[in-house]
Structure 1
Amino acid sequence: MSILLKLSGLIDALNEAVGKLVYWLVLVAVVISAGNASVRYVFSTSSNAWLELQWYLFSAVFLLCSGYTLLRNEHIRIDVVIGRFSKRTQAWIDVFGFIFFMFPMALLILWLSWPMFWDSFIHSEMSNNAGGLIRWPAKILVPAGFLLLSLQGASELIKRIAFLMGLRDEPGDKMHGHS
């Protein structure tokens, strides 16, 4: 179990680093959005590429931070119900949820999104919009995001099992806590 906990720590560090890096994409998206709006109003011109880049950046933030959100326990859950249970019961509910809901969903989306990315990459798919961007960079975000989410789910599962075995004091960082 100590090897699995070390692996969990590496996965946590990966998602922590990706999350903090992707934070900066929010600023980039805001700057691009403001710049594009300013150019549109001042010069009465715009570019679909800039609009699409904003969409790509929003997608990157949303998808690549899914594992980071799970790590930070900021994902959506019904705390009103689960918060009434003991930490052990909460951990068992999480183990059940990871195994029977999160993993099947995330791995299925990962599996199904890879061929769509690959086809787009091989054929250099372009946006249908005039001046639009190539599409594969946006399409790789889907499998990448669900890979990071699946890895973080494995890390959280390891931490919950270690807690249930009595090897950890807390099942996960800020488990079911309020920030």
Structure 2
Amino acid sequence: MTLLLASAQFLKAFARRLGQAAAWFVVLLILTVVVDVITRRFVVLGSTKLQDLEWHFHAALFLFSLGYAYVEGEHVRIDVLHTRFGETTVAVIELIGALLFVVPFCVIVLYYGWTFVERSYLLGEASASQTGLTHRWIIKSALLIGFATLLSAALGVIAEQIARLMGAAPPPAPPSRHEEVGL
């Protein structure tokens, strides 16, 4: 039981750390947008590379945060039902949801995504614009990293729910956003 909980915490910690690190893409995205707007408006120098970079930062932010959102319970779910059920029922629903939906979807995306990235690398794919960014495979690799992290988070949730169903005490809930900011 301890090994199951430890592996759950390890897998979920990986997703948390990547999501926290990915938050820095917000800063990079804002700076890129500001530079792009200033150079277009005041210097009259439009940059396709900057616009491509904006999309890349946005995609990386989203993809690298998938596992974090799942682990922290910030993903879409029907919370109305969760409040009406007991802990055992909630654990069963989480377990079934992860096993039937999250894990198979991640495996499919990773399976087909690998070919997607590999083809992009072998073809030397670049932006559709002549002056855009090259090496499109780099941002396409973010798809693999993001879904591998989501898969890791899902496996951590599965391990945690199995441990809960076997009688382990649930881990302490993280403070809500309102408690963090003192509301």
Residue 122 of structure 1, CA deviation: 2.0
The worse-fitting range, judged by mean Cα deviation, of 44-53 and 8-17 is 8-17
8 Å Cα contact 1:73-1:173 kept in structure 2: no
Where in structure 2 are the equivalents of 1:131-146 lying within 5 Å? 131-134=131-134, 135-146=136-147
8 Å Cα contact 2:36-2:46 kept in structure 1: yes
Aligned partner of residue 151 in structure 2, secondary structure? helix
Where in structure 2 are the equivalents of 1:27-42 lying within 5 Å? 27-42=27-42
The runs of 4+ residues in structure 1 deviating greater than 4 Å are: none
Task: Name the residue aligned to 2:90.
Answer: 90
What are structure 1's unaligned runs of at least 5 residues? none
Aligned equivalents of 2:104, 2:177: Cα separation in 1: 27
Deviations 1:41-89 (A, max 9, x none): 1111111111011101100011111001111111011111232111110
RMSD: 1.6
Task: Name the residue aligned to 1:75.
Answer: 75
Task: Name the residue aligned to 1:154.
Answer: 155
Aligned equivalents of 2:168, 2:86: Cα separation in 1: 17
Amino acid at match of 1:118: E
Task: Name the residue aligned to 1:99.
Answer: 99
Identify if the C-alpha distance between structure 1 residues 109 and 173 changes in structure 2 by more than 3 Å, giving closer, same or farther: farther
When normalised by structure 1's length, the TM-score is 0.92
Matched length = 176
Residue 167 of structure 1, CA deviation: 1.6
Amino acid at match of 2:151: S
Aligned equivalents of 1:77, 1:9: Cα separation in 2: 22
Aligned partner of residue 32 in structure 1, secondary structure? helix
Amino acid at match of 1:46: G
Aligned partner of residue 130 in structure 2, secondary structure? coil
Amino acid at match of 1:102: V
Aligned equivalents of 1:37, 1:158: Cα separation in 2: 47
Amino acid at match of 1:27: V
Aligned partner of residue 74 in structure 2, secondary structure? coil
Aligned equivalents of 2:158, 2:165: Cα separation in 1: 11
Task: Name the residue aligned to 1:47.
Answer: 47
Q: Percent identity among equivalent residues? A: 27
Task: Name the residue aligned to 1:115.
Answer: 115
8 Å Cα contact 2:22-2:60 kept in structure 1: yes
